[in-house]
Amino acid sequence: MAYSATVTVSRKGNDFVVQIVELEAGAATEATITGVPLRGRLLRQKATLTAGSGTTVDPILGNAANPSAAAVSIIVENATPAATIDNIAGGPGAPYVAPTGSMFHRSVCDSGSDNSVTTLYYLTGASPAAGW
């Protein structure tokens, strides 16, 4: 079986929930997220390793493919790998820009390519803060 990712973007007003369900995920597999605001704030990142030979995930979200290769494209990167990740942005959230309207997610599983991972991103697409 090959890598697959089902990406669902739900919207209510200016708030968005992105759900990514990955099968056969590995260290370098990548899901593309479309249908999100070009600018906004990331409020929360949650990821859970649900099955497979891996023991941890270390998710990264960027505004270009392979966000781990160029730090300038990273929107958010998890600090400490674990089987379950739950990162909440402080204050009004972490500002982001997705110039093409796409974001790129990697779960970065620590081993194997047979992992199942479910990830949620909570975004708001409200107008950016003054000075942006």
Q: Using one digit for the tens of pLDDT, what is the confidence trace for 19-54?
A: 999 999 999 999 999 999 889 999 999 999 999 999
Whole-angstrom CA distances from 36 to 2, 50, 60, 122 are: 26, 26, 17, 11
- Cα–Cα distances (Å) from 8 to 46, 121, 122, in that order, read 15, 11, 12
Half-sphere exposure of 80 (CA within 13 A, CB side): 4
Do residues 117 and 49 make contact, with C-beta atoms less than 8 angstroms apart? yes
**CATH number of the domain located at residue range(s) 4-124 in this protein:** 2.60.120
In whole angstroms, what is the distance from residue 104 CA to residue 88 CA? 19
Residues of the chain with pLDDT under 70: 70, 126-132
